Amino acid sequence: MDFKEAVSIINEVLPETAGRKYDGIAVKRLEASNTLDEGRTTNQTHIAITGEQMDIFPYLMADGYFNCAYDVRDEQLKKYFITQIPLRLYRSNVEALAGQGHIPEGMRFDGGAMIQARASIVRSRRKSQTDQVQLSLTSIDDPAFVAFRRLLHAGDYMVILKHREKLDYDCYGIRKTTEFKDRLDRLNNKFYKDGTNTKVNVAELVPAGSRDREKIGTNILYYGVPGSGKSYEISKICSDGAVMERVVFHPDYSYSDFVGQIMPRLNEENKLEYAFTPGPFTKIMKRAYHDPETMYYLIIEEINRGNAPAIFGEIFQLLDRKDARKYPGEEGESEYGISNYDIAREVYDGDSGHPVRIPANLTLLATMNTSDQNVFTLDTAFQRRWDMRHVPNRFSDRHAEDMIEGSEINWGSFAMVVNEIITEINTELMGSGDKRLGAYFANVNELGTERFSEKVLKYLWDDAFRMDKQAVFDKQMTSLEKVLESYQDALGDPLRAVLKNDVYQKMSDRMKNGEAVSDKTDSAGEPEQ
């Protein structure tokens, strides 16, 4: 089969590709070991590319390196021979794979038909063995590509199409049950190339190792209104559960929960003894210390829902990191060590006298809802040790256009009008916490009649408009029970049944005028201290 015939099969299977110019085609029918399913047959998470199909990707050949002794050092050095390629993922294909127009977490098309993600390419075997490159390292791939891979299962096809004379690829997934299965099998594990050449600028290939170095040894705290996308921002940095610990702070969470504590246990002789049981902070620090070439992440959700300074205790001192100007080559590690015999004994293989420091390959990521600033405040000394990043509240993707069930109002218009009212009449409320609705406060499944009323309307009644309920609700709404019953039992538009007429009209006008979907009330105000 020649390249022209292969293109015609692809155009038939994927009609949207017909107008594009490609010079490389590769089709891979996935084995169980190539998927991210929990039941895969091996621990590998990459997709092995062998034979002539390797030539669709740029990759590094390092004969001297691959001919050296295959020892631990050799295994560790593999990751330095990684490049990254841009892959285009298309909304229509993602929705077809996910079903019912669903967009998986980790992907944001922001109203467009395509997003571009980066995927890793690594040459993973010595020259004395069968040539192979690996497509995808989940720890450093873009979250969008990882989310795309989770949609594909054993027997499904991954189709990769290289744009003509460009380092740019289209990537599609096709179910194994497709009517085109026989024709796709003809293309499987083969590489079809047109007679062209692509000049590759090395700067376009992002070395994964250097990308990691840029993220080394940092503390980042994302803050914004509930549902603005703080956890999504974290997912763009880390989506691999194998290299992270995730905790959620709450009022009862303590130093013992976070760092560890002395607890009773039975030893090998079945006798009771007391020993240090490490918490998530100590566990992830130990893993990072013993695997210095891998980036590890400690994710703290809702950091101000607990008493953060008390939970950190003396390890608060470790948040000061060495910078490159003062400590070249040592940046990212804790600048000051502390004495903690229990942590040291656990992390440093029994050396209780070893100064405890956060290693350079451990990053701390945290989230904070500005609506909860009145729960526990973060003092200036604590905040200054974090890179504070405001997450703006943007209603910019297709979710804003999702209609509220039974209503003529979409989610974006509803939320932005409510936010404008909160900002206009409750300026004093902003000092104790930002009560606005985040763009993702309610997902598409929560726009149904019952779930919307129980989550969104209840929040507005109990929290956002607790001091002035008639700012948005009709004067006949005298209790939350009345609001819920009126909304759920409404014969017409349920929002008309519970909202003030002028509030509903503002939402309707925004819909009719087709106003841009963006939250004009958003501001990057600093968290309360």
| Domain annotation covers residue 358 | yes
Confidence bin at 111 (pLDDT 50/70/90): confident
Domain end residue (candidates: 208, 232, 266): 208
Tell which wins on pLDDT, 4 or 106: 4
Residues 405 and 342 in one domain: no
Which of residues 63 and 264 earns the better pLDDT score? 264
If asked whether residues 204 and 219 sit together in one domain, one would say no
Is 461 contained in some domain?
A: yes
Task: Provide the pLDDT confidence category of residue 525 given band limits of 50, 70 and 90.
Answer: very low
What's the pLDDT tens digit per position in 382-440? 888 898 888 888 776 678 888 999 999 999 999 999 988 988 876 554 444 578 888 88
Tell me what pLDDT residue 375 has. 58
**pLDDT above 90: residue 39:** no
**Last residue of one domain, picked from the residues 154, 173, 208:** 208
Q: Name the least confident of 152-156, 216-220, 321-325, 518-522.
A: 518-522
| CATH code of residue 62 | 2.40.330
Do the strands 272-278 and 260-266 form a parallel or antiparallel pair, or are they unpaired? antiparallel
Q: Is the pLDDT of residue 73 over 50?
A: no
Span 100-122, average pLDDT: 83
Give me the CATH number covering residue 331.
3.40.50.300
Q: At 162, which helix (H) or strand (E)?
A: strand 157-163
| CA angle 154–157–161, rounded 5-degree value | 150
Give per-residue pLDDT as tens, 238-259: 766 678 899 999 999 999 999 9
Q: How would you class 483 by CB atoms within 10 Å of its CB: exposed for 0-12, middle for 13-18, buried for 19 or more?
A: buried
Q: Are residues 124 and 258 in the same domain?
A: no
Residue 50 belongs to what domain range? Answer: 3-208
Cβ contact 395:414 at 8 Å: no
Predicted confidence at residue 457, as pLDDT, reads: 95
The better pLDDT of the pair 61, 266 is held by: 266
Contact 222, 366 (CB under 8 A): yes
Distance (Å, whole) CA 259 – CA 276? 10
Mean pLDDT in residue range 449-468 = 90
| Predicted pLDDT of residue 516 | 47
- Residue 87 pLDDT more than 60? yes
Q: How many helices (H) and strands (E) does the chain have?
A: 20, 15
For helices 501-513 and 411-425, angle between their N-to-C axes, nearest 10 degrees: 130
Sign of the Cα pseudo-torsion (44, 47, 49, 54, in order) = negative
Mean pLDDT estimate for the chain: 82
The span from the CA of 13 to the CA of 112, in Å, is 22
Which DSSP category does 518 fall into? -
Of the candidates 351, 362, 358, the one whose C-alpha atom is nearest the C-alpha of residue 335 is 358
Residue 213, pLDDT > 70, answer no
Look at residue 207 in the predicted model and tell me its pLDDT: 45
Residue 519 confidence (pLDDT): 53
pLDDT on residue 37: 85
Report helix, strand or coil for 161: strand
Residue 202 CB coordination number (10 Å)? 8
Number of other residues whose CB lies within 10 A of the CB of residue 174: 21
Answer yes or no: is 518 within a domain.
no
Q: Same domain, yes or no, for 178 and 301?
A: no
Give bridge partners of residue 134 from the DSSP assignment: 48, 122
Same domain, 13 and 155: yes
In a domain, 151, yes or no: yes
> What per-residue confidence (pLDDT) applies to 435?
83
Q: Residue 214 has what pLDDT?
A: 45
* pLDDT at position 130: 65
What band does 187 get if pLDDT is binned at 50, 70 and 90? Answer: very high
pLDDT surpasses 50 at 173: yes
Say whether pLDDT at 524 is over 90: no
pLDDT score recorded for residue 42: 66
Examine the domain organization and report whether 327 and 364 are in the same domain.
Answer: yes
- pLDDT tens-digit readout, 474-519: 999 999 999 999 999 999 999 999 999 999 999 999 888 766 444 5
Number of domains in the chain: 3
Co-location of 150 and 45 in the same domain: yes
Confidence of residue 212 (pLDDT cuts 50, 70, 90): very low
The pLDDT tens digits for 294-339 are 889 999 999 988 999 899 999 999 999 988 777 766 788 898 889 9
One domain for residues 335 and 404? no
Q: Are residues 353 and 403 in the same domain?
A: no
Q: Is the pLDDT of residue 128 over 60?
A: no
Does 524 reside within a domain? Answer: no
Q: Is residue 527 part of a domain?
A: no
Check residue 432 and give its pLDDT: 41
Question: Considering the domain boundaries, does residue 86 fall inside one?
Answer: yes
Domain boundary among 331, 357, 390: 390
Lowest mean pLDDT among 48-62, 82-96, 250-264, 412-426: 48-62
pLDDT per position as a tens digit, 269-295: 888 888 889 999 999 999 988 887 788
- For residue 329, being part of any structural domain is answered with yes
Q: Which of 184, 234, 213 is nearest to 28 (CA)?
A: 184
Q: Do 385 and 403 belong to one domain?
A: no
Q: Which of residues 237 and 510 earns the better pLDDT score?
A: 510
pLDDT of residue 104: 87
Q: Which residue has the higher pLDDT, 129 or 50?
A: 50
Same domain, 304 and 345: yes
147 and 62 in a common domain: yes
pLDDT over 60 at 76, yes or no: no
